Amino acid sequence: MSAQRDFSSTWYSTFLDSIPAEITQTEIGFVERWLPLERFPSVLDLCCGSGRHALPLARRGYRVLGVDRNADAIAKAQAEVRNATFRVHDMRDLAALGLTFDAVVNLWHSFGYFDDATNEAIVRQVAQVLRPGGRAIFDLYNREHLERLPSSEDGARAGIAFRTTRRWDGRRLRVSIDYEQGGHDEIEWRLYTAEEFGRVCAEAGLEPLQRSAWFDESRAPSADHARMQFVVERRGG
């Protein structure tokens, strides 16, 4: 079983801390449309990182529990987000939280780190921690788009230059990032098409409500878009 790796501090400062506020606002707007506060007040932010989404959700009145296995990210979230709760916790063991939620959000392509059986078990656990009629939002990469990307390319962000190398192993993508200033990150995902992930959700008892690209309901997931969002609802509501 492939393992989720911790991201380096350079990765966080390069790719996460540099996200423009308007992108976060777009993402939170989508969450609010599909998880209206009066119906979905308690939210599990799964793989919350340093609280980029937990902060604006908590400010809007949601009761947020953010979980992430990266202790440094959780410490930063706890220091910066006063009106939410955070725990260092592995996404593979949601039952151990001992809690039920109105909603679960898993944003910024933080899904698919493990083998198929483990990824599918995570989705089933998401269903199990939702109340009947509760909803989940998954934001993940679309494999059909990433298959089009070059095997290597140079880039720069937040003043940091880097080289990205991509290697495919069946449906798994391994991404290596080498920073010009020194340092390295290795990330691996099992990537899904929209149809594949839709089946995973359905088999977990999660009914599809919406499939989008780039948090825009007018855009359908396709090979033209790197990101896709699924809004699903636990049966029985």
Where does the pLDDT of residue 12 fall: very low under 50, low under 70, confident under 90, or very high at 90 and above? Answer: confident
Instruction: Give yes or no for residue 224 having a pLDDT over 90.
Output: yes
**Across residues 114-135, what is the average pLDDT?**
98
Residue among 143, 115, 110, 142 nearest 126 (CA): 110
What per-residue confidence (pLDDT) applies to 109? 93
Instruction: Give yes or no for residue 5 having a pLDDT over 70.
Output: no
What per-residue confidence (pLDDT) applies to 13? 86
Where does the pLDDT of residue 3 fall: very low under 50, low under 70, confident under 90, or very high at 90 and above? Answer: low
Whole-angstrom distance, CA of residue 160 vs CA of residue 167: 22
- 3-class state of residue 31 by DSSP: helix
Average pLDDT along the chain: 95
CA 65 and chain centroid, separation? 15
Top pLDDT among 11 and 146 is at 146
What per-residue confidence (pLDDT) applies to 29? 98
DSSP string, 53-71: THHHHHHTT-EEEEEES-H
Domains and CATH numbers, the chain: 9-142+193-234 (3.40.50.150)
Query: How does 144-169 read in b/e, with b if 16+ C-beta sit within 10 Å?
Result: bbbeeeeeeeeeeeeebebebeeeee
What pTM does this model have?
0.94
Low-confidence winner among 71-75, 97-101, 215-219 (lowest mean pLDDT): 71-75
> What would the pLDDT profile of 22-33 be if each residue is shown by its tens digit?
999 999 999 999
